[in-house]
Amino acid sequence: MNARLGLAALLLVAGLAIWFSSQREGASLGGPVEVDEPTESVAKPPDRHAPAERVEVEGSGNEPDGGVREAAAPGPEAEVPTIAELRELARPTEPGVVEGLVLVGRTPLATGGRVLHVPGYFATMRGPGDPRVDAPEPTTVSIDGNGEFRLHGLARGRHTVAVDLGRGPRQATSFEVVEGERGRRIVIVLGTARVFGQLWDPEGRALTGVRVTLSHSADRSFVTSCVSAVDGRYVVEDLPAGEYWFVVEPKTAGGAAFETMQKISLAVGEVRRLDVGSPSGAAIVRGRVLLRNGSQALGGGHLHLRRKSDRAYSTVAVDATGAFSSPVAAGEYEVSVSFRGCDVERWQAADLAVGRADVAQDFVVAATQVIGSLTATATGLPPEAIDRSHVYVQLANGGVLCCLIAIDRKGRFVVGGLHPGRYQLALHPAELELGSHEFEVGAEQVIIPLTLATKGR
């Protein structure tokens, strides 16, 4: 049984780790707000309780053509290549040489430019206005009149390249160099679509130096990003038509991180405005996550908010006592809850309505939590280095791994969300392994005291 448990744990640890890394602590402003008709004049910022769905802004160099223009009628030269065409263009290359082709739609780029290169897997490159100083300085190669470029003498391993036409890095992608092996030509497609807007923090202040990213998929292939200007304005250009993840990852003046994310679709030549926040600030939503008997959910986790009007997605952190407090943009939201270490499971909760005023609302989920403690039989104290250990929980019949829980330095752990049933528990690393420990979770039993003895020194 130990072998089966270990194998199941190892197969799913990587997936859980990826999921955990995507869950960021902090507040959320909700999804971006599309503004259809920006004006040329500047309005005085409304007070905190004024409607925030439409915002008037001043025209500037960052705003394309002074406002939103109609998408150009797509011609053959502007259409995005098909998957089959891209595979045909990505021909094999000789060992030791990295070749690339830059297209605008289906047409090779003929106006020149350069390709930026840095070693590493999706290494971030600095663009105009980017305040970071830790990003590596890229090397550059020219793009010729046929839209082609070549890189020589690259060390084996992962590398990142992006196109720069004088407006910063565009369509960054990663590839691997394997010594002595042939590669494939890198095809980078630019387009004519553009996304712009303005960012404000929860108090209605313009966000400066905040990164806005658009990528074609969740694995962040072909990433284009920029940072916002001193007035919170941003613009992301040269985007081919298609679906994107639109992600804003700012930090407020106090250092608290929050994120907003939305999936959008861009047509050929489309210009889309997406604002995040508003000058009037955002309503504060606060409350607790409760279990079925009314007790507070312990261990921490997240509220997952999906706005009904545009399916924009954001998260709100829940602390170790089950409490949360966060600015959230106006709208009607579907709400689900995940528990720390058990993030794959989502527990449906009541809907949330956010207007101009602050909201106090608790969310009740039909979950059972397990509180455990771990001591060494020899000392009666937590084993050494216990805070670098984890508890694995899965169904007793050998089902999928349900939770991966870190143990604190006092030997305590909380499994925040389980359905009724029989489960087995094991420890990692191996020197703490006892064999599986089975326990029962009932429909009404909320907290299960669970003490395990170990061989700890």
Please identify which residue in the block is written with the tokens 């990528």. 215
Whole-number pLDDT of residue 445: 58
pLDDT tens-digit map of 52-83: 332 222 233 333 333 333 334 444 445 778 88
Contacts of 373 (CB under 8 A, 6+ apart): 410, 411, 412, 413, 449, 450, 451, 452
Whole-number pLDDT of residue 65: 34
Residues of the chain with pLDDT under 50: 1-27, 36-77, 252-257, 456-457
Asked if the domains at 2-21+368-454 and 81-190 fall in one CATH topology, the answer is: yes
Whole-number pLDDT of residue 424: 86
Alpha carbon distance 43, 105 (integer Å):
39
Please identify which residue in the block is written with the tokens 């907003």. 260
Alpha carbon distance 178, 98 (integer Å):
11
Within 10 Å of residue 105's Cβ, how many Cβ atoms? Answer: 20
- Superfamily (CATH H level) for 33-40+49-73+192-275: Carboxypeptidase-like, regulatory domain (2.60.40.1120)
- Superfamily (CATH H level) for 81-190: Immunoglobulins (2.60.40.10)
Longest C-alpha distance within the chain, in Å?
Answer: 77
Q: Where are the domains of the chain?
A: 2-21+368-454, 33-40+49-73+192-275, 81-190
Encode 400-438 in three state secondary structure.
CEEEEEECCCCCEEEEEEECCEEEEEEEECHHHCCCCEE
| pTM (2 d.p.) | 0.59
Whole-number pLDDT of residue 202: 79
Number of residues written out for the chain: 457
Whole-number pLDDT of residue 287: 96
DSSP 211-261: EEEEESSTT--SEEEEE--TTSEEEEEEEPSEEEEEEEE-B-TT--BB-EE
Q: Which residue, among 321, 325, 330, has the nearest Cα to 352 in the 3D structure?
A: 330
pLDDT tens-digit map of 272-317: 999 888 887 788 899 999 998 788 999 999 999 998 988 888 889 9
Q: Which tokens go with 262?
A: 């939305």
The pairing of strands 260-266 and 449-454 is unpaired
Asked: is 2-21+368-454 a CATH 3.90.105.10 domain? The reply is: no
